Structure 1
Amino acid sequence: MTRHLIDQPQFYLTAPQACPYLEGEHERKIFTYLVGQDAPHLNDLLSVGGFRRSQTIAYRPACEGCQACLSVRVVVPQFRFSRNQTRVLKRNADLIGIIKPAEATSEQYALFQRYLQSRHGDGGMVEMAMQDYAAMVEETHIDTFLIEYRLRDADSGITGTSKGDLIGVALTDRLNDATSMVYSFFRPDLDHRSLGTFFILDHIRRAMAEGLSHVYLGYWVKNSQKMAYKTRFKPLEFLGNDGWEILD
């Protein structure tokens, strides 16, 4: 059965705004809408082209005179866990990741606000109300799911799930041959666990089990300390002028 071609999407350009990653710079984004039955296929195509999803919008940077933001993805079949990454996995062996539908809960929102207040207290997201969080999670026309990370309870070995304390949440998109990490948050008082690193490693581990090709990590900015952690997941590809290349 031949799949019909998707309608040509309409693209729009945002007005310049202050860049959140490079001081003194301004950003613009090109975006389109991901709605209707063709949204999953369109999202697959745009993800390969360096776009990211936020609710029903796919966007990518379109800044004049700057190409610092590079879309990056982990090459799953070639990935090998380093010693330090193996230690992070062992350190969090008492957590269990439970796949859930993309449905917001008050428990998630409380943790989300706790995370923002601690890590991003001066950012705009800290003003998000419960309905804003619900929109971030639930407004999607593609295959989106949550992974709730909880402390194992006495029955986890039998049930494969847990009613233990909620430690973190990852909002993730499923693509044709990959997953894309949209947003994640976690308890800010557990720095010793390296939870941000653990969530990425867990997504890579799940992608390996499913035989997927990539895990998309969003954008990497060379001179931004906020983005430096992404280079630890090698081999890492970036989207350059000549297509996807290995980041050296």
Structure 2
Amino acid sequence: MSSSDFKLGITKTFPCNYLPEEQERLLIAVDDRFQNNDSYTWLMTQGFRRSGNQIYRPHCPSCNACQSIRVLVDSFSPSRSQKRLLKRNSHFVLNKSTELKDDYYPLYERYINTVHADGAMYPASYQQFKNFLSCKISEQLFIETWDKEELISVAVTDKLENGLSAVYTFYHPDYRKSALGILSILNQIRICAEINLPYLYLGYQIDKCQKMNYKDRYFPYEKLTENNWLIVNK
């Protein structure tokens, strides 16, 4: 597929959810031919991402703060703090599922209504949960973290042709000190290696946004810059 093979939609500008002083605009992949894993994988290499079944990429009039990042799985080496985190949380148990379970919703609701009560997704609803996290475009993997009998985290992940895409992670607010977001990324990297996929796509790094400036800590990684993936080492 090449850029001449498809048409894109473009939204009107609207206030940015991450940088309040900026205006946001999106390119939308509206063609039905995008609704399959091969096309979605190619679009991810071009800096797109999905929310539900809508595939989009920032196309803002005066800002390029959103930077696509993907971890180089084969070369990844955890930092000392990441190694300590893995050791500290080694008692947690991981399970994997290929379906979005209704049983996840209470954890999702608690996470949104506690951790993101100041955000655009508050208050949580079941319909929002389904629309946001379910997907018909690609195979999905739901990485569950359990503390004994309690589900404490779910990492929603898409399986692409060349990697995994970290879509969203929600967790029990009482476990904030366990850094379950970081733990989920480290587990996704490990699963990529186990199934021989070269990349973990982390979405958009936004340096000036506290909630979105954590994705550049997994070295080495590649950053999409002027349509080229450039390697960043420590």
**TM-score, structure 2 as length reference:** 0.91
- Cα separation, 2, equivalents of 1:113 and 1:212: 32
Partner of 1:228: 213
- Cα separation, 1, equivalents of 2:112 and 2:85: 23
Partner of 1:142: 138
- Cα separation, 2, equivalents of 1:93 and 1:34: 44
Note closer, same or farther for the CA distance 1:132–1:222 as it changes in structure 2 (3 Å cut): closer
- Cα separation, 1, equivalents of 2:11 and 2:78: 39
- Range with bigger deviation, 119-128 or 19-28: 119-128
Partner of 2:96: 99
Partner of 1:128: 124
Note closer, same or farther for the CA distance 1:234–1:129 as it changes in structure 2 (3 Å cut): same
Unaligned runs of 5+ in 2: none
Name the Cα RMSD after superposition.
Answer: 2.2
Shift of 1:188: 1.0
* Bigger CA radius of gyration: 1
CA contact (8 A) 1:36 1:141 kept: no
Partner of 1:75: 72
Equivalences for residues 153-168 of structure 1 within 5 A = 164-168=149-153
Amino acid at match of 1:145: L
- Cα separation, 2, equivalents of 1:98 and 1:82: 25
Partner of 2:175: 190
- Cα separation, 2, equivalents of 1:119 and 1:201: 21
Identity %: 34
Shift of 1:38: 5.5
Structure 1 counterpart SS, 2:174: coil
Structure 1 counterpart SS, 2:142: strand
Aligned length: 233
Shift of 1:203: 0.5
- Cα separation, 1, equivalents of 2:210 and 2:230: 22
Structure 1 counterpart SS, 2:177: helix
CA contact (8 A) 2:115 2:173 kept: yes
Over residues 186-225 of structure 1, what are the superposed CA-to-partner deviations in whole Å (9 max), with x where a residue is unaligned? 0111122111100000001111222211100000112222
Shift of 1:146: 1.2
Shift of 1:239: 0.4
CA contact (8 A) 1:33 1:56 kept: no
- Cα separation, 1, equivalents of 2:23 and 2:99: 33
CA contact (8 A) 1:177 1:212 kept: yes
Shift of 1:18: 0.9
